[in-house]
Amino acid sequence: MGRFFGKALIIDNDVRFVEGIKTEFKLLEDYPCFVTKTFQEATKILKQPKHNIRVVFLSSSISMSGGLSELKEIRTSRPFLPIFLILHHPEREPKAILNNEDGFNKIIIAPKNFSFLTKEIDTLFISKETWADIQASEEKKNIEINLVKDRFIAVPLSDYVLTPKSFFNIFIQLGETKFVKILNAGDAFDKDLFETYARKGITHFYLADEEHKKYIRLCEKLSKKVINDQEIKSSKKIHNLLNFGNNIAQSLIHTGISEEKLDIANTFLNQSVHLIKNMKMKNESLKKFIETVGLKEHNATVSFLASMIANQVGLESIKSVKIAGIAALLHDIGLYYLNPDFNESELENLDHKQQDIFDQHEKHGGQILRKSGNFDEVIYQAVENHHMRRRGSDHTRRTNNINMVTEIIGAADELHNIVITKKINDTVMNEFLTTNLKRFSPQIEKAILELLNKAKST
């Protein structure tokens, strides 16, 4: 699976090579890319932020300059974009080109097929993050200190990955800006100590934002290991995966969207898709998932549910399932910016001010994402309309102008807010099936009933 969020751009007019790439359907799912034979078309693609081009492969055969004038032109507008030069006939090239005197990221000599390029993509986007090098930070332990809250990210105690020695400097929060450091990186960290904090009513550990990035990589590695282990039950796999998803969601929502974080989110979605496609959902129904998932964080759970529904609706391609997954991961980003403590599952008891915030959060979320400019239009629309419904009597929330991904996120959102957080039982489930689910289009209703192993009722 490709480790990056976005697309590659291949500019090449070597018919055999280009046509070969177009037949590599599996690889193209993992490494989405545009293939074009002209630089003119490539320029148009590069100019569109929604295409999110992250790497360019440029063939020397596309122009008289052997790719040099094109390199210059791309570098003017995108100085940091990695550009690889493809030489199909190195024997015809001058020495200066072969020696890469013009500063391409690398020269690829006579690639036989697409995998010659995907190998380079893997090397380019591999994580260099390591958590082994974190040192004890300068704050003294067990003394109350004032710290800027925004620079710290909360990790639920129940989801914290226990290692014999702490890889991180760990804090607990005492007040708005008051923290106390309880462990230095390198300190021994056993279960007893952990349980002592839990007994004292501590629900979250706090990690500095910089260290939290490395913590996410630890979760990612652990989740990957667990997912690929045939002996481990699906519920444990989902638990680890949602831990990982929760942490990347927190980081995106609390400290902003960046390319690096979206690459990590992309890995979470890859793992989700892999698990959903390999977990025999017929035996392990959505109902079982709902019962075992517990009170996991909203965004990662909604993302996993959305991917499940997308897969069931018949959005077969990994790309479509991942679009639903990323839109779901970010669907409430506007809510956090308006009020970090807002709990969407308590919608019935909102006062005026809270109702105002709720009413604005879709639009506001869309604005935040549009500003970042890295996403597909479908994703913006899904975030902007995820509380709109195709059917039902609420005219303020009903529209025909709603895409499938938006409905998928809406359904996943309600499954979490209504069924999971309220603890599943027959009454809750019935209410969901007869009222909430009826507001979605028949296709979505059918998919969810299938996931719940229920026949469609009319």
Which of residues 36 and 381 has its CB atom nearest to Fe ion in the complex? 381
Q: How far is the CB of 284 from Fe ion (least distance, A)?
A: 24
For Fe ion, the closer CB: 57 or 304: 304
- Judged by CB, which is closer to Fe ion: 206, or 358? 358
Q: Are 302 and 416 in contact (CB under 8 A)?
A: yes
CB of 440 to Fe ion, least distance (A): 15
Stretch that binds Fe ion, among 68-76, 141-149, 286-294, 326-334 (CB under 5 A): 326-334
Task: Single out the segment in contact with Fe ion by CB under 5 A; choices: 100-108, 329-337, 390-398, 448-456.
Answer: 329-337
Shorter beta-carbon distance to Fe ion: residue 12 or 413 = 413
Q: Which of 122, 129, 209, 344 binds Fe ion (CB under 5 A)?
A: 344
Work out how close the CB of 386 gets to Fe ion at its nearest, in angstroms, rounded to a whole number.
6
Binding mask 429-458 for Fe ion (x = CB under 5 A): ------------------------------
Q: What amino acid is encoded at 187 in this protein?
A: D
Least CB distance to Fe ion at residue 418 (A): 11
- The residues, any chain, with a CB within 8 Å of residue 320's CB and separated by 6 or more, are 310, 405
Return the number of the residue (332 or 384) whose C-beta is nearest Fe ion.
332
Give the number of residues in contact with Fe ion, rule: CB under 5 A: 3
- How far apart are CB 158 and Fe ion at their closest, in Å? 21
Q: Which of 70, 211, 220, 332 binds Fe ion (CB under 5 A)?
A: 332
Does residue 263 interact with Fe ion by CB under 5 A? no
For residue 410, the minimal CB distance to Fe ion (Å) is 9
User: Minimum distance between the CB of residue 179 and Fe ion, rounded to whole angstroms?
Assistant: 29
Binding segment (CB under 5 A) for Fe ion, from list 79-87, 112-120, 207-215, 340-348: 340-348
Which residue stretch of 61-69, 219-227, 327-335, 435-443 sits at the interface with Fe ion (rule: CB under 5 A)? 327-335
Residue 83: CB minimum distance to Fe ion, A: 40
The count of other CB atoms within 10 Å of the CB of residue 298 is: 22
Site pattern 389..418 for Fe ion (x: CB under 5 A): ------------------------x-----
CB-nearer residue toward Fe ion: 70 or 413: 413
Q: List all residues 6 or more positions away from 28 whose beta carbon is below 8 Å from its beta carbon.
A: 21, 22, 114
CB of 389 to Fe ion, least distance (A): 13
207 vs 327 by CB, closer to Fe ion: 327
Question: Cβ of residue 296: shortest distance to Fe ion, in angstroms?
Answer: 13
* Beta carbons of 237 and 275 less than 8 angstroms apart: yes
Binding site for Fe ion (CB under 5 A): 332, 344, 413
